[in-house]
Copies of this chain bind each other. A is one copy, B any other.
Amino acid sequence: MGTAFNATTDGALRSWVDVPDGSDFPIQNMPLGIIARACESPRVGVAIGDSVLDLAVVAEAGLLDDALPGARAILTCGTLNAFLARGRAAWSAVRARLSMLLAAGNEELRGVPGLTERALYPRTQARMHLPFEVGDYVDFYSSIEHATNLGRLFRPGAEPLMPNYRHIPIGYHGRSSTIVVSGTPIVRPNGQRRPDPQQPPLFGPSGALDIELEVGFVTGPGNALGMPILSSSAREHIYGMVLVNDWSARDIQAWEYQPLGPFLGKSFATSISPWVVSLDALEPFRVEGPRQEPEPLPYLRTSGAWNYAISLRVELQSAQMARSGHAPLTLSQPSFQGMYWNMAQQLAHATANGAVVRPGDLFASGTVSEAKPNFGSLIELTWRGTHPIVLPDGTQRVFLEDGDTVRLLGHAGGDGVPRIGFGEVSGRIVEARV
């Protein structure tokens, strides 16, 4: 299936737009996001090097009509949903066209007087909006290392994995209204906790605010009620991926979650990165996933490589570190490539009962953890507080403190092949409201 996209993943292709070495956004990437400058209304843009190209302006000049009928309306939209709804043929056509327009030697954009001046500007000037309106948000639990760690932490002495884990891509629905774009401050949630089971529960600021390093995928056209999306069709329905920080209040979650699962311990905020990296751009980085034993039921079988070799990183910088000039501390660097359940399996499972998927639905992977110390959450990194993290300024962390900034980063490639980066998703913790 990947052969159709070779033209746009050609590692030798260069852009006439300057792309610094090590940039997340060479011409082989071209992630889409929702951008605005000054008092402009939000519209679709593409990241290229340290710049953004305003696709509303390009579309208004008529340069995208052949690739995307109705391009003006779709790309002047303040969300990607209308574009996502158009499906894979449109996605690939737009990608091929942008690749042509941005390729070294192409003069079409520069041939329209004043166009590049209006359409191409430094990425630092772009205010990034939530890239798509999320209909339903599902969070999976697809890292077997993470699930095993949490089983060990919460049910010591017992079998760490539930009996269903190797049969079902376990997941639950999260709250779509509180999905926010990178940079949105994260207000420490208040909530009900019961630190001492012999005492009544308390209400107040969470004392166990945690990170969850995840990768999410966003869907395209979707299905009709009652009509499952087969794993073999998943590629037609998945546009691309973002980084996700599924902030978690472990103390709220621990007290509330039985018997119906996580609720307020997760629903206060979920941050996503502003640039959506397409499956097409990630095509060269498809890898086989881990062997699944026992073999999944037929509806969960996939053919072809459905894991992705994406390197992830979690960084933490406290307010004091920032003031004293300490660079952010890297806490963990797991890879996404070993996830037990892949995206095609997740989508097939989530719709096996006929549930509807719509353009802009978000399916997150669950916390990405590998072997120690490459864990994607503080509860694993500190082993439930028994091994605090020591920051460069000598202070310690078990969970997040007010003023802490967390950045998640991710990329595929580099080292001689084009780097397909996600940019970052960041958030700073601000104190709870009284």
A residues at B contact (CB < 8 Å): 135-136, 138, 141, 162-164, 167-168, 170-178, 180, 184, 187, 189-192, 194, 197, 200-203, 225-228, 249, 252, 255-264, 267-269, 294, 297-299, 349-350, 352-358, 361, 433
Shortest distance from the beta carbon of A237 to any chain B beta carbon, whole Å? 13
A227 touches B433 (CB 8 A): yes
Chain B positions within 8 Å of A175 at CB level: 136, 173, 355-356
Complex Cα–Cα for A129 and B172 (A): 28
Chain B positions within 8 Å of A297 at CB level: 192, 201-203
Q: Which of B184, B258, B299, B354 contacts A268 (CB 8 A)?
A: B354
Chain B residue nearest to A255 (CB atoms) is: B164
Q: Which of B200, B249, B260 contacts A172 (CB 8 A)?
A: B260
Chain B residue nearest to A252 (CB atoms) is: B353
Total copies of the chain: 2
Chain B positions within 8 Å of A269 at CB level: 225, 354
Complex Cα–Cα for A352 and B206 (A): 12
Chain B positions within 8 Å of A197 at CB level: 163
For A249, A297, A358, which residue has the most chain B Cβ atoms within 10 angstroms?
A297
Chain B positions within 8 Å of A138 at CB level: 263
A259 touches B261 (CB 8 A): yes
* Contact A176/B256 with A163-B197, A350-B264, A355-B264 known, Cβ cut-off 8 Å: no
Complex Cα–Cα for A353 and B204 (A): 9
* Contact A352/B172 with A225-B269, A227-B433 known, Cβ cut-off 8 Å: no
For A228, A255, A356, which residue has the most chain B Cβ atoms within 10 angstroms?
A356
Pairs A–B under 8 Å by Cβ, sample size 20: A135-B177, A167-B194, A168-B192, A168-B255, A170-B259, A172-B172, A177-B355, A177-B361, A180-B225, A190-B354, A191-B352, A202-B297, A257-B259, A260-B261, A260-B262, A261-B262, A264-B349, A264-B353, A264-B355, A268-B353
B356 touches A260 (CB 8 A): no
Complex Cα–Cα for A252 and B299 (A): 15
Chain B residue nearest to A151 (CB atoms) is: B259
Q: Which of B189, B200, B225, B259 contacts A354 (CB 8 A)?
A: B189
* Contact A228/B190 with A163-B197, A268-B354, A298-B203 known, Cβ cut-off 8 Å: yes
Complex Cα–Cα for A194 and B226 (A): 22
* Contact A178/B356 with A167-B201, A297-B192 known, Cβ cut-off 8 Å: yes
Complex Cα–Cα for A192 and B167 (A): 9
Chain B residue nearest to A298 (CB atoms) is: B203
B135 touches A176 (CB 8 A): yes
Q: Which of B135, B136, B264, B433 contacts A226 (CB 8 A)?
A: B433
A353 touches B259 (CB 8 A): no
Q: Which of B168, B203, B361 contacts A299 (CB 8 A)?
A: B203
Chain B positions within 8 Å of A191 at CB level: 352-353
Complex Cα–Cα for A361 and B135 (A): 12
Shortest distance from the beta carbon of A307 to any chain B beta carbon, whole Å? 22
Complex Cα–Cα for A191 and B190 (A): 37
B261 touches A261 (CB 8 A): yes
Complex Cα–Cα for A352 and B192 (A): 9
B249 touches A353 (CB 8 A): yes
A170 touches B225 (CB 8 A): no
Shortest distance from the beta carbon of A106 to any chain B beta carbon, whole Å? 41
Chain B positions within 8 Å of A174 at CB level: 173
A190 touches B353 (CB 8 A): yes
Complex Cα–Cα for A428 and B217 (A): 34
Complex Cα–Cα for A172 and B256 (A): 10
* Contact A226/B260 with A136-B175, A353-B252 known, Cβ cut-off 8 Å: no
Shortest distance from the beta carbon of A206 to any chain B beta carbon, whole Å? 8
Complex Cα–Cα for A172 and B164 (A): 20
Chain B positions within 8 Å of A164 at CB level: 194, 201, 255-256, 258
Contacts A170-B260, A172-B172, A264-B350 given; 13 further ones with Cβ under 8 A?
A135-B176, A162-B259, A164-B201, A168-B201, A170-B263, A178-B225, A178-B355, A189-B354, A201-B297, A203-B299, A225-B269, A268-B353, A269-B354
